[in-house]
Copies of this chain bind each other. A is one copy, B any other.
Amino acid sequence: MPPFSRVTVIGLGLIGSSIARGVRAHMTGVGLTGYDADPQVRETAKAIGLCDDVADSAGAAVTDADLVILCVPVGAIGDAAREFAEDLPADAVVSDVGSCKESVVTALREALPGVAIVPAHPVAGTERSGPEAGFAQLFHNRWCILTPPADADPLAVERVAEFWKRLGADIEMMEPAHHDRVLAVTSHLPHLIAYTIVGTASDLEEVTSSEVIKYSAGGFRDFTRIAASDPTMWRDVFLSNREAVLDMLQRFSEDLSALQRAIRWGKGEELFDLFTRTRAVRRSVIEQGQDDAREDFGRAHD
């Protein structure tokens, strides 16, 4: 039996719509209600039959839910929760999928005092957003990190974990603060750097934007994919996980300066040693099933 029987998804973008599709694919019989602040998104969700029901308000969406998952940008989670706080059944569990957890835990606790809260973060995504970008397999073989507060009801945690397992994910538990530092390095810093380099490249004068795009297959195009991620989502992530991001950025900058010096002074051995070490990291990523083993991400050639 599925761990919940009436699931409500608030925010029907990439992640919310992937959850909805995953519930349909893997938990037949479970009732599915959706809500999104954006009327257009609600229209689209209805048109593509994403949920059994798309409600016109957050309150109406949760009235008979036993699980409510907030899939909105992290900066909007507190407000989104407040919107349905009065209508939430007493025994409902509330979860979310936010990319940072300390700020989210605080916001949820403030907005929903006394409610069973089990924050979660599925480490999976693409550069797309919106209700049509989702797909049921997004979470297959990916990690979903739960960061329950120390006083969380173990049964609620167990049920949320089981929910994500059914969506295909593997579960890990973490302290919110540690989660935020791990993700600062594995996700937030990479995005920040990709955004920066794509910005730098398009602001040059002697090299035109059209040249940058034309010859992007030399490596730059990989960065453009990440830098195409949702602006609202990522603005919120950087503002919410500020301390950890700035700290990781500081370390990155120091390492970059060291490399800059190595190039300036022609220290080939130093470069070679680093490039050999990083190659080994790639091997581990593939051995642990975290990326496509095929070259070039398995990109189609012809």
- Asked if residues A231 and B300 are in contact (CB atoms below 8 Å), the reply is no
Determine if A142 is an interface residue (Cβ-Cβ < 8 Å): yes
Determine if A113 is an interface residue (Cβ-Cβ < 8 Å): no
- Asked if residues B291 and A217 are in contact (CB atoms below 8 Å), the reply is yes
- Asked if residues A278 and B128 are in contact (CB atoms below 8 Å), the reply is no
The 5 A-B pairs with the shortest beta carbon distances in the complex, nearest first, are A187-B218, A228-B282, A231-B275, A190-B219, A227-B278
- Asked if residues B281 and A195 are in contact (CB atoms below 8 Å), the reply is no
Chain A, interface residues (CB within 8 Å), range? 35 or more
Q: Is the interface of A mostly helix, strand, loop or mixed?
A: helix
In the assembly, what is the distance between CA of A259 and CA of B192, in Å? 8
- Asked if residues A297 and B219 are in contact (CB atoms below 8 Å), the reply is no
Interface residues of A (CB under 8 A from B): 99, 123-128, 133, 135, 137-138, 140-143, 145, 172, 178, 181-183, 185-204, 206-207, 209, 211-232, 234-236, 238-239, 242, 245-246, 248-249, 251-253, 255-256, 259-260, 263-264, 266, 268, 271-272, 274-279, 281-285, 288, 290-292, 295-302
- Asked if residues A291 and B260 are in contact (CB atoms below 8 Å), the reply is no
- Asked if residues B225 and A222 are in contact (CB atoms below 8 Å), the reply is yes
- Asked if residues A133 and B281 are in contact (CB atoms below 8 Å), the reply is no
- Asked if residues A296 and B251 are in contact (CB atoms below 8 Å), the reply is no
* A/B interface sample: 8 pairs, CB < 8 A: A143-B215, A186-B201, A200-B252, A203-B255, A239-B266, A239-B268, A242-B264, A253-B256
In the assembly, what is the distance between CA of A178 and CA of B214, in Å? 14
CB distance from A165 to the nearest CB of B (A): 16
- Asked if residues A249 and B238 are in contact (CB atoms below 8 Å), the reply is no
In the assembly, what is the distance between CA of A191 and CA of B255, in Å? 14
Q: How many copies, total?
A: 2
- Asked if residues B181 and A278 are in contact (CB atoms below 8 Å), the reply is no
In the assembly, what is the distance between CA of A142 and CA of B259, in Å? 30
Closest chain B residue to A252, Cβ basis: B200
CB distance from A112 to the nearest CB of B (A): 25
17 additional contacts, CB 8 Å, given A137-B301, A213-B285? A127-B282, A127-B295, A135-B301, A140-B301, A143-B215, A178-B206, A183-B218, A186-B211, A192-B259, A193-B256, A197-B252, A202-B277, A224-B278, A228-B283, A229-B275, A231-B271, A246-B263
- Asked if residues A226 and B219 are in contact (CB atoms below 8 Å), the reply is yes
Q: A143-B214, A217-B142 are in contact. Are A255 and B222 (CB under 8 A)?
A: no
